[in-house]
Amino acid sequence: MVLRVENLVKEYGKDMSLTKALDNVSFSIEEGEFVSIIGASGSGKSTLLHLIGGVDSPTSGSIIVRDKNIYNLKDKELSKYRRKDVGLVYQFYNLIPILNVEENIELPVLLDKGKVDENFKKELIDILKLGEYLNYLPNQLSGGTQQRVAIARALINHPALVLADEPTGNLDSANSKEIIDLLKLLNEKYKQTVIMVTHDLDIASQAKRIITVSDGKIVSDIKKEVPLTSTNEQAVQAVITPIQQSTEIVEKVKSDTCEVNHEDSK
């Protein structure tokens, strides 16, 4: 087991302005899984990813990565966890503008005062087709190429978890497909655990497991044996339909509650 999330709560504000971004969330992920977390804007999915990444603190509950509760770690140890055990892929790439492609890829290792695994770096560069761009600065690259650099940077330290926050959100459909295909390939080749947040059902359906979040709660958790492809429409629909139904049920309950409250106020 690479990750256990137990009774996770994240609250903002207090008293009348209290908002529960996450409400008693629990799940676990095995080493080598490719999991998508899907939900509408404000559902709590990005908050969950940030907590797993160690960049925010929960109100209560535990996040246990490889048998360590990360929020029991001291500040220095937590910083090391973020550098060594987590690889982050952002929607807007977040490359360092004054570093070239090769330097951006190596940065997490150098920040950790480690030694770059040159063979692994070469493998990543070859798989991600970055060889001709190594001396380019980020502003000289297309969006799709920048995201491939970000993926190489995320994997270079052999992290326990790769966390991808809307990795295709700033890309066109062709580049989006390429990025998802690369994440799937790296997941399968290196047994790299990937957790991807998205609001896009088609993107989410490419993962091997789909967790749906609504109003800070998990409303469905669907696993499948074989990764879906965009050409396997029947299989894609079989996964998407229960997710849509879960979301529709939640929205219906909300609507009914609003109607009851309205009638009571008359």
Query: Bridge partners of 5?
Result: 27, 63
pLDDT of residue 240: 52
Distance CA 244, CA 61 (A): 29
Residue 12 lies inside a defined structural domain of this protein: yes
Distance CA 229, CA 226 (A): 9
Residue 130 lies inside a defined structural domain of this protein: no
Residue 236 lies inside a defined structural domain of this protein: yes
| Per-residue H/E/C for 8-72 | EEEEECCHHHCEEEEEEEEEEECCCCEEEEECCCCCCHHHHHHHHCCCCCCCEEEEEECCEEHHH
pLDDT of residue 14: 85
Distance CA 247, CA 238 (A): 15
Residue 127 lies inside a defined structural domain of this protein: no
Distance CA 48, CA 53 (A): 9
Q: Do 5 and 176 touch, CB atoms closer than 8 A?
A: no
Residue 166 lies inside a defined structural domain of this protein: yes
| Residue matched to tokens 């696993």 | 223
Residue 64 lies inside a defined structural domain of this protein: yes
pLDDT of residue 266: 53
Residues of the chain with pLDDT under 70: 225-266
Residue 103 lies inside a defined structural domain of this protein: no
pLDDT of residue 249: 45
- Number of structural domains, the chain? 1
Residue 35 lies inside a defined structural domain of this protein: yes
Q: Do 210 and 232 touch, CB atoms closer than 8 A?
A: no
Distance CA 243, CA 91 (A): 23
CATH of the domain at 20: 3.40.50.300
Residue 231 domain boundaries: 3-85+159-265
Sign of CA dihedral 226, 227, 232, 238: positive
